[in-house]
Chains A and B, each alone.
Chain A
Amino acid sequence: MPVIPCLSCDTEEPPPPIPQDRKVLIEEFTGVRCVNCPAGSAEIESLLFNYGEQLIAISIHAGFYANPYPESQYDFSTPEGDNLENFLGIPIGYPTSVINRKLFSTESDLQLEGTISWAGHIAQEVLIEPKINIEIENEWDSNTRKLTINIAGETVEPIDEKVRLTIFIIESGIKDTQLTPSGKDNDYVHKHVLRKAITAYNGDEVASSLDVWDLIDEEYSYTIPSGWDADNCVVVAFFHNGSTNKEILQAAEKHVTP
C-alpha cells in the first residue's frame, strides 16, 4: 500500500473558547445617612434596566454615612465593606462607584464621584471581550441553610498576571431607614446590599498566570444567617487582576435559591 502523505495532518491548536458576553461590575459605595445616595441607587437601577444581564451591581455600605440611625433595624456596614473602601480608595463624596475596578483615562481615581460618568464607562466596558469565562453553580440546602458555591473559570486568552477570585453575597429587598432629600424614609427598599465576602475582601489568588484553555475550579461553602432572606440573596463572583492593577476580568451572578 503506498503511503499517502497527509498534507493536512499537522497538529493544529484548537481554537480558544468562545468568550462570554462581557459582564460589568459596578460597586456603589453608599450609606443610610447619605442624602444624595438614593439618586445614585436610582441611577444604577436605570443602568440595570438598560444593560440587563450585562451589568451586575453591588451596594457597599461603608464609611461615616453608613452608620445606622437609632431607628434603623439593620446595620448594613461590614468589615469587608470598610476594607474595600480603603482598598479601592476613599472617595471625596457620595454617591460614588467603581466600575470594573478600572482607572479610566479621563478619570483621576477608581472612585467615580457623582453619577454622570457611570453610563459612559459601562458602555465602553461591555464591548470588551473577557479574557476568562466564569460560571457559578450554587447548591442550597434550605434545612441547614448551607450554601455550596462552585466557581468554574476557563481562559480565552493568556493572562500574564496573578489572577484573584472574589465572591460576595448580596441581598436585595431589605426595607429600612434611608435619608433622602425629602427626609428620612423608614420604608426605603435597599437593593444589592453587600452582606458578606466569602473569599478575602480583596480576593483569593487562584493563579500566578494563565494560558489559553486553562481551567479554574474552586469550591466554597457558607451558612446563610437566619436573618437574611435567602430568596433575595445572590452570589456575585469575579476574577480580577492581582498584580499591576485591580481590573476585573469577568464577573457573574447567580441566585442562592433555585
Chain B
Amino acid sequence: MEIALISPANASIFGIPAFIFSVLIPVIGVGIFTYIMNKRVAPLLKASPDFRFDRITERTINLIKLWLIQYRQPRYMLAGVLHIMIFAGFIILSVRSTSLVVIGFSEGFVLPGLNGVIGHAYNILKDYAATMVLIACIIAAVRRGFFKPKRYAVPEKYGKDHTAEAVFVLGVISTLMISESLFEASLAAAQVQGGFEAEFLAPGTLVRLFKSMLLNTPAATLQNIHVGSYFVHDLTFFFFLCFLPMGKHFHVITSVFNVFFMRLNKGNIKPVRYGVDDGKLDEIESFGVKKLEDFTWKQILDFYSCADCGRCSDQCPANAVGRPLSPRFISIKGRDHAFKKYSVLGSDQKQEELLMGSVYNEDEIWSCTTCGACEQECPLMIEYIDKIVDLRRGMVDEGMVPQSIQKPLSALEKRGNPWGKMEKKRADWTKELPKECNVKMIEKGDTSETLYFVDSITSYDDRMQNIGRAAAKILSAAGIDFGILGSLEKDSGNEVRRFGEEMLFQDLKSNNTEEIINSGVKNIVTADPHAFNALKNDYKDLPPVEHISRTIVKSIKAGKIKLKGVEDANKIYTYHDPCYLGRHNDVYDDPRAAIDAIPGIIRVEMEKYMDRSFCCGGGGLMLFYEPEEEQRMGVLRVEMAKKAGAHVIVTACPFCLVNIEDAIKVSGLEGKMEAIDLAELIEKHIEAE
C-alpha cells in the first residue's frame, strides 16, 4: 500500500531500525524514572505515620474541585489562567502522549475506544490543547524571563535564582507541543502533496499552521521531519518524565496525591504522633521534628509537591514585614534536604542530620504567627502550620526556647496565664459591671446554661477587660443565662500548643475540660477567637462552642437585642478579620452582619479581607516574642485601613485589638484612626429598654 511517509515504527536511522529506539527509549526512560521514584518514596516509608485514608467521599470531592477544576488557581488571575491552560492541556494530551509512545513501534496504533468519531473528535481537541499549551508557555516564559514578577525572586540567603530552571521547563513543554505538531503536520503535508486523504486539522491550531508552512517542503525533508520530530518528542517526553521528580515539577506527579490526602479539618493541630493518644504522650521518646524522618509521610510529600509558585510567601505577613520566614522556602529547603539525604546519585547519606541549625534556623521557625494565609493560598494544599508546630515541638524538647518566651511559659505553668497574675484575680474584671448585669460565678457554686469562656488576656489586661464587660453586658441584654469559671479557668492554651509546648497544653486542656464538664453548662460562648479555636478544634468532648458574633446575630434576629443608630454617622468603619475567627474557622459573615445591623453605619472592606485578611501580628505567646522584623504587621494593617478610607477598625479579637491599637500609636495616627472590638461596638449601640 502506498503511504505518504514512512512511520517511525518502520523507518530506520543510520541503518538501524528506528523501532528499536522506540522501545529502548521508553524502557530506559521508565527504568530511570522508577529508580528515581524509588529514592523519592524511600523517606516516605521511614517517616512518621499519618492517617489519611478516611472520608473518601470528601477527599474525592476535594480532588475534583481543587485538583481537576483548579479552583484556587484564579486567586492569582494571570498565573492562574495560564496554569489552568497548561494543566488542562496536559490532561487532554495525556492520551495522545500514551498513544505516541506505542506508535513508535506499532504503526497506526490507536488506543481502544478512540476509533471512529470519538477518535476524530479527540484529535481536534488535542490539537487545540497543544496550541493552547504552547501559547500559555510562551506567555509564561515572557512573564517569568522578562517581567520577572516579584514573588518568584529568590532572596540571596536561599541561593540562586530559579528563573532559568522555570524558563527551561517551559521550553521543554513547548518542545513537546511543537514536536508533536510537527510530527502530525509533516504527515499531513506529505499526504496533501501525495494526493492522499489527509486527517482534518482544525483551524487556528498549531498543527494546521505547521502544515501550511510545510506544504511546499520536499518529501524527503518531510520524512526526516516526521521521524525526527517523533524521536525529539519521545526523548523529550521521557527526559521530562525523569526530570519531574528532580525539582519543582515533581508536583506534576504528586499533586493528585497531595490534594487527595489534604487536610480535611481546619484550625486544629496534629497530634504529636498519629496513633498515640494524648494520655500516652509520656511514652514517646522524642517529641516533635528534629530530623527529616520525624515528619509524617504526608509532610514530606508536601515538600515534594511545592511548585515554587511563591503565593504562600506573597501572602505571608511575617515575610511582608521582613521576618526571616518565607513559607515557600520551608518547602523548598525541606525538599532539597530530602533529595540530598536520599540522593539519586551517590549512596544515601547515613548520618542523621538535625534540621534545626542546618536546614532551618530558629528565628525562622519562631517567626510564624500561625495565621494560615499560606495554607489558604497554596494551590497544592501544602500544609505549613503543622510542620512549624512540629519543628517547635522538637526545639522545646531540646530546651531551645527563646528567652522572651520562657517567662510567660513558666507563668502559664504556675499561674495559668502568661503574665503570672494570681488565679484569684481572674474574675476581678467583673467588679466594675453594673448590678443589673448578672454574671454567675461557677467557682462559687453557681450554675448556668451557658459558659462565657473569658481566657487570659480579657481577664487580666486593663484595656481588654473592657471587652469582657461589653460581652457580659451583651449576653445579659440578650437574656442569656451565663456564668464564668473565674479562678477555675486557665488559659485556653491555643498558642501554648502552637509554640510547641504540648505537655503544658495538655495540662491546661485537661484542667479546663474538667472544670467545664463539672460546671454542667450546655454551651460555651467566647469573645476570644484563640480560645474559640482551641475549644472547638483542639479540645475534645466539650459542649458546643460559638463566637460571640454568632450570639449577637442570633439575638438581633430573635429581637432580643435592638440596636440604636450609629453614634457618629460621619465615621467610616472597616472590619478586620481575625485569623482565628476567619481563616481557621470560616466565620466571616456573622461579624459583618452584626456591624451592619447598626442603623446608618458605613462599612468598607480593606483590600485584603475575608480569607485574605492580613494578620495583625499574632496573639497569645506571640505577644511576648521579640522577632527580627523591619516593621510591625499591625502597622501595615493600619495602613491598609487608611487606604480604604476608614476611621474606625472593628475587630473581634483582643489580640488584634492590642496589636492594632499599638500600631495606631506607633504610626502616629492617634486621633485620626481608632480601633474597637465588635463586642464594645455592639454594646455601645444597644437600645436601652
A and B: bona fide binding partners: no
Chain A positions near chain B (C-beta within 8 angstroms) = none
